[in-house]
Chain A
Amino acid sequence: MKRTLPGYLAIAASAALFIGCQTAPKDEGIIVEARDAVSRAESDPDISKYAPTELTRARQFLTNAEGAAKSKGARSPDAAQYAYLATQTARVAAQRAHEQVAMAHIKAGETERQKILVSARENETQRAQADAQQARAESQNARAETQSAQAQAAQAQAEAQRLAAQLENVQATQTDRGMVLTLGGDVLFDSGRASLKPGAQRSIEQIASFLEEHPDRRVQIEGFTDDQGTDDYNLELSQKRADAVAMAIIQRGIEAQRVQATGYGEQYPKASNNSAGSRQLNRRVEIVVGKDNQAIPARQPPVAP
C-alpha cells in the first residue's frame, strides 16, 4: 500500500496532537493539583488558625510554580518542582492542623474530666451532708418521740393519781397495764348484791368525768370476790358487779367501747381469805385506767400455787 505525502502528514499531525493532549494536561495537571491543594487549605479555618506558617510557604511555592510555568513553561522542571512542594506543604499544613485540633480536643477533654470529677465530688459531699442531716433529724425525732412518750406517760400517771386522790376509799397502784384503782366491794355493793349502793355514785361520777376529760383513755373494770360460796356463784357475782360499774359509767355518757368489764370471782386474791379483814380486801372492784389510747392488756393467768 502506497501512502501519499498528505497522508503521512495527517498521521504525524494526529500523533503530535495525541501526544500533546496526553502530556500537556499531565504537566499542567501538577500545577492545577497544587492550586487545588493550596485553595483547599486556605478554605479550612483550622489550617489558617493552627498552621499559618506552612500555609504561607505553600502559597509561596505555588506562586513560584506559576511564575516558572509562565517564564520557563508548564513542563519545566522548576514548575513541576515548585508545584510538588506547594502540594506537599499544603498537606503538611493540613496534618499540622489535625494534630493541633486533636491536642485542643484532648485539652478540652482534660478540663471536662476535671469538671465531672469535681461535680461528682461535690455531689458526694452534698449527699454525705444530706445523709448526716437526715440522720441528725431522725435522731432528734427519735429523742423527741421518746421525750413526748415519757411526758405522756408521766402526764397519764399524774392524771390517774389526781383521779385516785379525788376518789374516796380508793387505793391507786401503778402497773404495766396502767393505773389500777381499787375500790372496796363493801363500799359499792351490799353483801351478795350486784346493784350499786347510792354512796357509790360519787366515785362513778368522778371516773366518768375523768374519762370525759380524756377521751382517748379506756378503762377495764374487774370484779373480785372472797372465797365464801361456790366458784360459779362468785364468778357470776363478780361479773355482774363489774358489769354494773361499767354500765353506770356508760350511762354517764362514756362510749361503751371504751369500757370493758370482766369478773374473776375468787381469782387473784389480794389477801389470804383467812380472816374477815383479809376477805374484805379481796372483795373489790379494780378499775384499770389505760396509759394511752391502746386497749388495756389482759390480766396474766394466776400463778399456780
Chain B
Amino acid sequence: MITLSGIRNAIWCGVAFGIVACAATPMPSDKLAVAKSSVDRAEQAQAGQFAQGELTSARNKLAAAQAAADKHDADVAARMADQAQVDAQLAEFTARAKQQEQLAAQMDASLDDLRHEAQRNSATAAPQSPPPQ
C-alpha cells in the first residue's frame, strides 16, 4: 500500500540522489577559466607568430575540454583543461624567449657596429705623426 509518507520518502530519496549525483561530477569550470586565460595570454605574447605549434595544441585542448564539459565528462574536461593550460604557458614563454633572443641578437649587431665605429674614429684621429719633410 502506498502511503503519503512513503511517497514523501521517495521524493526525498530522489532529491538526495540528485544532490549526490550533482556533487559527484562537478564541472571543472575554474580549470577551464584558467586554461582560457592562459591561451589569451599566449596570444597576447604573439605566440601565433613565435610558437604556432604550442598555441594550436593549447587551443585544441581547450576546445576538447569545453566539449567534454558540455557532455558532463568532468574527468576528461579537467585533464584537457590542465593540458591546455600548460601548453598555453609553453606557447607564451617560447614566444617571449624568441622575441628576447631576437632583441639580444639585434643588440649584439648594433654593439659590433658601435665598436667598429669607435675604433675607426680613434684610428683616424689618434696618429699625429709629422708629415715627411
Contacts and interface: CB of A to CB of B under 8 A. Distances in A.
Interface string B96-123: 1100110110011011001100100110
Contacts of B89: 88-89, 92
A98 B83 contact: no
Contacts of A91: 90
A85 B86 contact: yes
A224 interface: no
Contact of A113 (B86, B101, B114, B122): B114
B118 A89 contact: no
A116 to B, nearest CB: 5
Contact of A98 (B75, B79, B97): B97
Given A116-B115, A123-B121, A105 B104 contact: yes
A84 to B, nearest CB: 6
Contact size range, A: 20 to 34
Contact of A110 (B87, B107, B121): B107
B54 to A, nearest CB: 9
Interface of A: 77, 81, 84-85, 88-89, 91-92, 95-96, 98-99, 102-103, 105-106, 109-110, 112-113, 116-117, 119-120, 123-124, 127, 134
8 contacts: A81-B83, A84-B86, A106-B103, A109-B104, A109-B107, A113-B110, A117-B114, A120-B122
Given A99-B100, A116-B114, 9 more contacts: A81-B79, A95-B93, A95-B94, A98-B101, A105-B107, A116-B111, A120-B118, A123-B118, A127-B126
